[in-house]
Amino acid sequence: MTRTNFGNLTGRDLEGFHTGGDTEAWRRLGSHVVEVQDPTRGALRGTRFAVWAPNARRVQVMGDFNWWQGDDMELVPGSGVWALWKEDVLEGTRYKYKIQHADGTWQEKVDPYAFHSQRPPENASVVWTSHHEWAPSEDEWLARRAAADPYHSQMSIYELHLGSWRKGLGYTQLVEELPEYVRWMGYTHVELMPVMAHPLAASWGYQVTGYYAADSRYGDPDELRVLIEALHAAGIGVILDWVPGHFPRDDWALGRFDGTALYEHADPRQGVHPDWGTYVFNYGRNEVKSFLVSNALYWVSEFHIDALRVDAVASMLYLDYSRKEGEWVPNKYGGRENLEAIDLLRYVNKHLYERQPGVMMIAEESTSFPGVTKPVHEGGLGFGFKWNMGWMNDSLEYIELDPIYRQYHHNEMTFAMVYAYSENYILPISHDEVVHGKGSMVNKVPQDDWRKFSTLRTFYSFMWAFPGKQLLFMGQEFGERAEWNEEAGLEWWVDGMQWHKGLRDMMREINLVQAATPALYERDCEPDGFSWINANDWMANTFSWLRYGADHEREIVACMANFSPEPYEQYAIRVPRPGVWREILNTSDTRWDGDGGYENGVLTTFVGEDGTDQLMVRVPPLSGLWLAYDPVASAHQDR
C-alpha cells in the first residue's frame, strides 16, 4: 500500500501514541477529511480512517460510501493502527469499523476518536470537520483566563444537565436562554454534566461511548461551540465533567475492542467496576494514556472549556475501591493505591496546566487521599480544586434534622474547619444530592414551608460565606420540590410563586453581594481569611464567624447563621475592629418572603465587660446575616 492510501499517515506519526506521549492523538486517529496528491490527478479530497486494533486479524471500514459492505484497511508499518484513505468520502458520512477477532468472529465498532455520532438510539460515527470560527472576543476571554487567579477570585458555580434544564432545548436554543439567566443570577461559572456521546440518557453522560463526540441529542459539535462562546461572551466560565474512571460495556463501543481487553484490564479484579458494572481503563497501557490525556486536552483546546471536573477520582485511586478482600490485586509494593492511575492523573493535570494557561482541574474525590490539590512537583496529584464531600454530607445531615435536635449535632457544621485548608475546596450541592430518593433541597428540611424555605435561605447564606468556592445544582436556586428527573426537566412554573421566587431572588442577591465583597472569597484558601466568633453556641443552634479580605484591617465581614426558629433580639458578638458595621445581607428580608422586622441597618460597636469590641445584633429566626465593617464611616466617627 502506498503512503497516499494511508492519507499521509506514517508509522513515525504514531510513535508518540504508542509510547504514551501523544497528547493530541485525535489529530492522527479517527476520521479526517484530508487532501492527498496523486501523481496523475493532482490534489484529491477524501477521508482517512485510522483505528488502533493491534490484535485484530482483519479490519474494515463500512458506511454510507460502500453500502455498509466494508473496505479492507491495512496496518500502518511499525504500528498496531489500521488505516485507509477513501476518495470523495467527506463530512457527514456515517461509518463504523468491522473488526475480525483472532478466533475469526466479527464485531462492529464505533470509532473511539469520532468527533460526531448519530443521535441515539442509532450509534454510527460521523465524519466531521469543524467549521466554527471563534469570535475575536474569545481571544480576549482566553487572555483574561490566563491572567486570572481562581484561588483569590469569586467562583459561584451553577451545575446543570443540558437536556433537562429546559426540556427540549438544543445547543442553539440554549444560546438564547442559558447565558442570560446565569449572568442575571450572578453565577461566575456553569458546570455541564458530561456532554460526550452516551447511549443511555439515564446515565446523565457518565457512561461514555464517544469520548471525542459531543452529545448529538442537542445538535452538532459546532453548535456546542457556539453555546460555549455565548457563555463566555456573558462572562461565564465553562466547567465540563470528564469521566476517565470507567466506560460502559456496550458491545459496539470500547469494550473488548479488537476481541481482547484493549482499553481495559483483562483481569476482572482490575478491569471491571463492581458498583457500576462498567470497564475500568488500563491506565498502565501507553496507548490508553495517549487516548485519555489527549481527550482532556481536546475538550479544553478545541472547545475552549475552562475547567475539567474529573468524576469519581476515588474509584481511580484505590485498587480495592468497592471490592472485598480477595477481589482486588495489590500494587507492586503490596499496597492498595492504583499507582498507574495516580501517574495518569498527574500526567493529565501537569500537561493541561502547562499547555492551557488559566485552565482549572477539579477533583470529585471523596476520601482523605493526601495532596489532591498539591502540585505534581511537590508530590501531589496536581488538581487545582477538590470537591469537599465531607462538608456536604455533614451539613446536609444537619439541616435534615428537626431544629430541636440540631443542638446535639452542632459539630457537624463546624467540623469542616478542622481540615478546611488541607486542600483547595469547592463546596458542592450537586445533582447527586437530589436524586435516587434523597429528595430535593427544600424537601430535605422538615416541617412547614416557612421552616423549609427559611432554613434553605439560611443554609445558602452559610454556604456562600464559608471558606471555599460554591456549587449549586440547577433548580435548587428556586426551591424545586421534586427530585431531579432528567426525563421531566425543571419545574420552572413555580419560580414566580411565593417562597420559590423569594429564594431565587435571594440567591441572586447572595451572588451579587459576594462579588462586591472580596472578604467573602478572596482568601477562601488561606487560614487567615477566617476565624470563629462563636462556634460553640449549640443551645441556640447559632454560628458566627469572620471573613477577611486581602486588606485584613479594612475588609472584614461578620457572618451569622441561626438554624433555630427562635429569634434573638439582643445577641452580642465580638468583632476585631471598633466602629461602624453595616448589614449587607439579611435572609429574613421581606423581599425574599422572609418575616422582616429584624433589620440591623448600621451598627456601632460597644466595649463589652471583657474589654472587647462587640456588636449587639438582632437575629431573626432561621436566618443568615452578613455585617460588613465600614472603615470610612468608622474613621469619621473617630474624628
Q: List the one residue out of 315, 308, 307, 381 whose CA is nearest residue 343.
A: 381
**Whether the Cβ atoms of residue 267 and residue 228 lie closer than 8 Å to each other:** no
**Domain covering 4-126: architecture:** Sandwich (2.60)
How long is the chain? 639
Helix (H) or strand (E) holding 455: helix 449-464
Question: Distance between CA atoms of 302 and 299, rounded to whole angstroms?
Answer: 6
Which residue is listed with cell 463589652?
A: 608
Q: What is the pLDDT of residues 490-523, one digit of tens each?
A: 999 998 899 999 999 999 999 999 999 999 999 9
Give per-residue burial for 54-93: e unless 16+ CB within 10 Å, then b.
Answer: eebebbbbbbebeeeebeebebbeebbbbbbbbeebeeeb
CA distance 340 to 284: 5
Cα–Cα distance between 556 and 638 in angstroms, integer? 18
Q: Give the closest residue to 163 by CA, choosing from 186, 133, 132, 195.
A: 195
* Residue 417 burial (C-beta neighbours within 10 Å; 0-12, 13-18, 19+): middle
304, 137, 143, 108: which is closest to 221 by C-alpha? 304
Regions of the chain where pLDDT drops below 50: 1-4
Q: Are β-strands 385-387 and 425-429 bridged in parallel, bridged antiparallel, or unpaired?
A: parallel
Q: Among 99, 108, 114, 119, which residue's Cα sits nearest to residue 252? A: 108
Contacts for 63 with CB less than 8 Å, ≥ 6 apart: 89, 93, 94, 95, 96, 124
Residues 222 and 77 sit within 8 Å (Cβ to Cβ): no
Distance of alpha carbon 165 from alpha carbon 449, whole angstroms: 24
Q: Which residues lie closer than 8 Å to 346 by C-beta, 6 or more apart?
A: 376, 381, 382
The residue written with cell numbers 498502565 in the block is 284
Whole-number Å distance between alpha carbons of 358 and 376: 17
| Same fold across 4-126 and 166-387 | no
CATH homologous superfamily of 530-638 equals Golgi alpha-mannosidase II (2.60.40.1180)
Pairing of strands 469-473, 425-429: parallel
SS3 110: coil
Q: Is the dihedral of CA 584, 585, 588, 592 positive or negative?
A: positive
410, 541 contact by CB (below 8 A): yes
Is residue 311 annotated as part of the catalytic site, yes or no?
A: yes
C-alpha–C-alpha distance, residues 298 and 300, integer Å: 6
* Nearest Cα to Cα of residue 511 among 157, 149, 181, 144: 157
Cell 431573626 belongs to residue: 620
CA distances from residue 239 to 75, 155, 290, 434, 471 in whole angstroms, order as listed: 38, 11, 22, 20, 11
CA distance 514 to 628: 11
Predicted confidence at residue 164, as pLDDT, reads 96
626: nearest Cα among 506, 520, 482, 498: 520
Question: Looking at 166-281, which runs of residues are DSSP E strands?
Answer: 189-192, 196-197, 210-214, 237-242, 272-273, 278-279
Q: What is the pTM assigned to this prediction? A: 0.96
The predicted pLDDT at position 3 comes to 44
The residues facing 190 across adjacent strands are: 158, 238
Q: Name the catalytic one among 311, 433, 480, 593.
A: 311
The answer to whether 375 touches 339, Cβ cutoff 8 Å, is: no
Backbone angles phi, psi at 18, to 5 degrees: -80, -15
Handedness of CA 592, 593, 594, 599 (dihedral sign): positive
- Whether the CB-CB separation of 629 and 557 falls below 8 Å is answered with yes
Alpha helices in 278-388 (DSSP H): 286-302, 313-317, 339-355
CB of 69 closer than 8 Å to CB of 62:
yes
Residue 226 cell numbers, joined = 457556539
Which residues are within 8 A (CB) of 99 and not within 5 positions of it... i.e. 6 or more apart? Answer: 53, 56, 58, 59, 60, 106, 107, 108, 109, 257, 258, 259
Other beta carbons within 10 angstroms of residue 609's beta carbon come to 7
Among residues 229, 306, 364, 365, the one annotated as catalytic is 364
pLDDT digits (tens, 9 = 90+) for 359-404: 999 999 999 999 999 999 999 999 999 999 999 999 999 999 999 9
Say which residues have a Cβ less than 8 Å from residue 140's Cβ, sequence separation at least 6.
Answer: none
The domains of the chain are located at: 4-126, 166-387, 530-638
Pairing of β 307-310 and β 278-279: unpaired
The distance between the two most distant Cα atoms of the chain, rounded to a whole number of Å, is 99
Distance of alpha carbon 267 from alpha carbon 52, whole angstroms: 21
CA 472 vs. chain centroid, Å, equals 11
One DSSP character per residue, 186-203 reads T-SEEEEPP-EE-S-GGG
According to DSSP, residue 264 is labeled B
Residue 423 exposed, middle or buried by CB count within 10 Å (0-12, 13-18, 19+):
buried
Residue holding cell 479488537?
258
The verdict on whether 495 is a catalytic residue reads: no
Tell me the CATH number of domain 166-387, given options 3.20.20.70, 3.30.70.920, 3.30.70.141, 3.20.20.80. Answer: 3.20.20.80
Cell of 311: 468524576
- What end-to-end distance do the CA atoms of the chain give, in Å? 91
